[in-house]
Amino acid sequence: MEKIKSSCIVSSGAFSVKKSAIKQYDPFNKKSPVVGDLVFGEVSALGHHRVIESKSGRQHTLNIGTRAIFVFGNRYAPDQFEGIVPDSSQEFVELFSQGGVIGEVKTQNQLVGVTTKIKVLGYVCDNESKVINTTDHVLITAKNETRNKKGSKIILCVGTTMNSGKTHAAAACCYALSSMGKGVRAAKITGTASLKDILLMNDCGAEHVADFTYFGYPSTYQMREAQLLSMFRTFDMKYGNDPANYIVIEFADGIFQRETAMLLKMPEIRQRISKLVFCAPDSTAVFGGIQALRDKFGLVPDAISGLCSSSPLAIREIQEFTDIPILQSMEKDYKKIFSIVGS
């Protein structure tokens, strides 16, 4: 075993693991990786990602030779990379995200450059020489499996794809609700490790925030239905028992993405939705998205938001074909937003 310096950067993909547990690595263990395995690695070549987000939410600049704790995981990102955990031990792997998720690229957007390469120095191990895996470290548990009363109202933000404005819409909802004196909790149920999204919701008034990393998952791509539902249910049962409060939830990527589509079809989740906010970059995406929600899921959004809501021209175009309220996430008129989602 080799020692790891206490000053070593621990990426946000390993959020659920206490930093005090990360002390040593095994340079000789060549086992096949699985989702959640922690790796002590070194940057060997810089590419698309040039910063890494730590457990504290700080972004650290990467240089050739930067050493950090990374975590094996899968990634789904139409704007960037589709990545998977390799089937066997590799000397070099690729960095998928700022949250320190690594593996090998399966496909990538042609507008994005090459990945940052990481040399695997060894698996991070505990005192019994067992490889530390994030899925063995869970930060949120619920005392009860069922509730005896009506739960908190859930506002769900979904969209056409990544970068459609979902997080800012969710944050605007948190701001409006908290500004009106309501108790707010917020979560991002699917995606790839990145604390900035839930930290924004926290900054905008959510008293308690969480994402899948709190449950030990560096990402949710390729997770099973039961795992996804368990996360949703546990967060809901932990923070959603007071009918006077609100929960704001974001599902990452678009409504056709595997895990998002699975969640939107689950009866238990559909029954818990109080308000559905649909986010899109432009009016055409709104038009198609409304039809897709109706035809594929039998859902009708209660509000339109996202990037399109910041453009007066786009808003005018949208209002020509629908009377669904438009939630202007960047304007943050909390009384107006509350009138849309707070009832």
Residue 146, domain member (yes or no)? no
Same-domain pairing of 206 and 307:
yes
What is the model's pLDDT at position 191? 96
Same-domain pairing of 93 and 172:
no
What is the model's pLDDT at position 184? 98
Round to whole Å and give the CA distance between 330 and 319: 18
Same-domain pairing of 210 and 257:
yes
Same-domain pairing of 109 and 52:
yes
Instruction: Tell me how many domains the chain contains.
Output: 2
Q: Rounded to an integer, what is the distance from CA 260 to the centroid of its chain?
A: 11
Residue that finishes a domain, picked among 99, 134, 169: 134
What is the model's pLDDT at position 145? 73
What is the model's pLDDT at position 143? 76
Mean pLDDT by 10 residues, the chain (343 residues): 95 97 96 98 98 96 98 97 97 97 97 97 96 98 79 97 96 98 98 96 98 98 97 95 96 97 97 97 98 98 98 98 97 94 91
Same-domain pairing of 15 and 90:
yes
Residues facing 43 on adjacent strands: 118
Domain that holds residue 29: 2-134
What is the model's pLDDT at position 343? 81
The 3 state secondary structure assigned to the chain is CEECCCCCEEEHHHCCCCHHHCCEEECCCCCCCCCCEEEEEEEEECCCCCEEEECCCCEEECCCCCEEEEEECCEECCCCEEEECCCCCCCEEEECCCCCEEEEEEEECCCCCCCEEEEEEEEEECCCCCECEHHHCCCCCCCCCCCCCCCCEEEEEEECCCCCCHHHHHHHHHHHHHHCCCCEEEEECCCECCHHHHHHHHHCCCCEEEEHHHHCCCECCCCCHHHHHHHHHHHHHHHCCCCCCEEEEECCCCCCCHHHHHHHCCHHHHHHEEEEEEECCCHHHHHHHHHHHHHHHCCCCCEEECHHHHCHHHHHHHCCCCCCCECCCCCCCHHHHHHHHCC
What is the model's pLDDT at position 19? 94
Residue that finishes a domain, picked among 81, 104, 134: 134
Same-domain pairing of 320 and 182:
yes
Same-domain pairing of 172 and 318:
yes
Same-domain pairing of 157 and 48:
no
What is the model's pLDDT at position 93? 98
CATH number where 234 lies: 3.40.50.300
Same-domain pairing of 51 and 122:
yes
Query: Is 36 in contact with 134 (CB distance < 8 Å)?
Result: yes
Q: What are phi and psi of 293, to 5 degrees?
A: -60, -40
Same-domain pairing of 127 and 170:
no
Residue 140, domain member (yes or no)? no
Residue 145, domain member (yes or no)? no
What is the model's pLDDT at position 142? 86
